[in-house]
Amino acid sequence: MSSWSQALTVSSASAWDEVFTGLHGASRIRVPDRRAPWTGHLEWQRSKTYSLALCSGGEEVVDRDNRHIRTDPRGTHELLVPLAGSAWLEQGAASGEIGPGAMALCDIDRPLTFAHDAGLRSISLIVSGRHLSARSAVAARGPHLLDGARGLGRIVREVTTTLHEEREHLSEISFDLACDRLLDLVCLAAEGGTDSAPTGQRAGVEAAIRRHVREHACDRELDVAGIARALGWSVRYVQQVLQAAGTTARDLIRRERLNVARGRLASGSWTTYSIAEIAHASGFGSHASFATAFRAEFGTTPREVRRGARELSGADAGPAAQS
C-alpha cells in the first residue's frame, strides 16, 4: 500500500468516534449501545488536494453543529456515495434518504445530521470548498441530493467506485488528475441534476464562461474581453456573473492553465519538453510566475510533479525534460 493510502479497522464505538471525527470533523456521535460489539473499517487515499475514503461501521447518528464547526472548521465539501445499506442526511432545507443509486454533496462547515444503519458501506470524496467553488458556485451552494442511477449521476458513482478500486495502480499525481475530472462531473450533475440546483440565465452564462475558458485556456491572449466577445455578452456582465460565483476571469483562466500544465507534466507525450516550454504552451508568460502560481495552487512544484511521474514510469529523465 502506498504511503498516501491507508487502511484501518477498529473494534469499539469509541475508537471509531476518533477515526470518524479525524476524517470528517468534530461531531456528536450517538450509537444504540456503546457496550455492544462494534467493527468499523476505513480505507482512504489522501493527496494534498483530495481525499477518498471507503467507510463501513455500525448504526450511528452524527450531528455536526455550529459549535463543532467553530472549534474544528474544515473548509471542505463531501460527496457521499453509498454502496450498500441506507443513510439519512439533513442539512438546511434539504433532507432525504440515500442508498445505492443515490448520492449527496454537502458542505461540512454547515450544520448537518447524518444517520445510517449498520449495513451502510460508502465512499466519500472530500475536496476543499475553494476547489469546488472555483469550478461551480452552484455546486458549492449545496447541499445536493443526486440521482446516481442514471445519466451523469451514474457516471459519477461508477467513476468514484473505480477510482477507489484502482488506488494501488495510481500515483499521487494520477490520483489528483482523475479526481479533477471526477469533480468536473460532480459539478455538472449538481448544476443540472437536482431540484435544488438554481436555474435561470445567470447559471447558464456562468457554465458557458467556464466551458469557454476550459477550451481556450492555453490561448495567451485570453482575457475577460475575449470571453465576452466570443460569447456575445458585455465585459461588465461577464464580470458580474463571475463575481457572483466568487471568482474573476483572471483567476479562472489561471486555474485552468494550471490544470492543463499539471496534466502535461504528468504525461508521457510531453517528456521531451522542458518545464519552461510547458508553462509557455499552457499560456503562462514566464517560468517564474508559473512556478509560483503552481505551488500556491497545488502545494508542490512543477519539478516534483514531473519527477513523480517519471519515477512511476521508470523513464530516464533527460536534461531538457528536467530544466
Taking only the tens place, the pLDDT of each residue in 117-164 is 999 999 999 999 988 888 887 788 879 999 999 888 999 999 999 999
In the prediction, which pLDDT does 315 show?
A: 44
Residues 242 and 159 in one domain: no
Backbone phi and psi for residue 38, each to the nearest 5 degrees, phi listed first: -145, 135
Look up the domain containing 113 and give its range.
5-192
| Angle, vertex CA 50, rays to CA 310 and CA 105, nearest 5 | 145
Residues 183 and 52 in one domain: yes
CATH number at residue 313: 1.10.10.60
In the prediction, which pLDDT does 81 show?
A: 96
Distance, CA of 139 to CA of 187 (rounded, Å): 5
Residues 187 and 212 in one domain: no
The cell for 55 is: 467507510
Q: How far apart are the first and last CA of the chain?
A: 32
Residues 294 and 148 in one domain: no
Give residue 239's region: left, alpha or beta (phi > 0; psi -120 to 50): alpha
High-pLDDT (> 70) share of the chain, %: 92
Q: Is the pLDDT of residue 311 over 70?
A: no
Which of 96, 103, 80 lies closest to 153 in space, CA to CA? 103
Q: Is the pLDDT of residue 253 over 70?
A: yes
Q: Is the pLDDT of residue 314 over 80?
A: no
Distance, CA of 177 to CA of 181 (rounded, Å): 7
In the prediction, which pLDDT does 196 show?
A: 37
Distance, CA of 237 to CA of 103 (rounded, Å): 34
Residues 270 and 161 in one domain: no
Which of 15-19, 65-69, 157-161, 314-318 shows the lowest mean pLDDT across its residues?
A: 314-318
Residues 85 and 188 in one domain: yes
Domain final residue, candidates 140, 172, 192 = 192
* Residue of 38 and 319 predicted with greater confidence: 38
Length of the chain: 323
Domain final residue, candidates 171, 192, 213 = 192
Which of 80, 77, 180, 181 lies closest to 138 in space, CA to CA? 77
Number of folded domains in the chain? 2
Which distant-in-sequence residues (6+ apart) come within 8 Å of 174 by Cβ? 266, 312
Residues 230 and 170 in one domain: no
CATH number at residue 152: 2.60.120.10
Domain final residue, candidates 192, 210, 230 = 192
Question: Is 109 in contact with 62 (CB distance < 8 Å)?
Answer: no
Give residue 63's region: left, alpha or beta (phi > 0; psi -120 to 50): beta
Residues 36 and 174 in one domain: yes
Residues 294 and 248 in one domain: yes
For 217, the 3-state DSSP assignment is: coil
In the prediction, which pLDDT does 137 show?
A: 79
* Residue of 317 and 261 predicted with greater confidence: 261
Helix H or strand E encompassing 106: strand 102-107
In the prediction, which pLDDT does 302 show?
A: 93
Backbone phi and psi for residue 7, each to the nearest 5 degrees, phi listed first: -140, 145
41-88 pLDDT, tens per residue?
Answer: 999 898 888 999 999 989 999 999 999 999 999 999 999 999 999 999
198 confidence band (pLDDT: 50, 70, 90) = very low
For 104, the 3-state DSSP assignment is: strand
Residues 186 and 222 in one domain: no
Residues 182 and 207 in one domain: no
Q: Is the pLDDT of residue 195 over 70?
A: no
Residues 68 and 211 in one domain: no
Distance, CA of 241 to CA of 186 (rounded, Å): 21
Q: Is the pLDDT of residue 217 over 60?
A: yes
* Residue of 194 and 141 predicted with greater confidence: 141
Q: Can you say how many angstroms the Cα of residue 127 is from the centroid of all Cα atoms in its chain? A: 4
Average pLDDT, the chain: 87
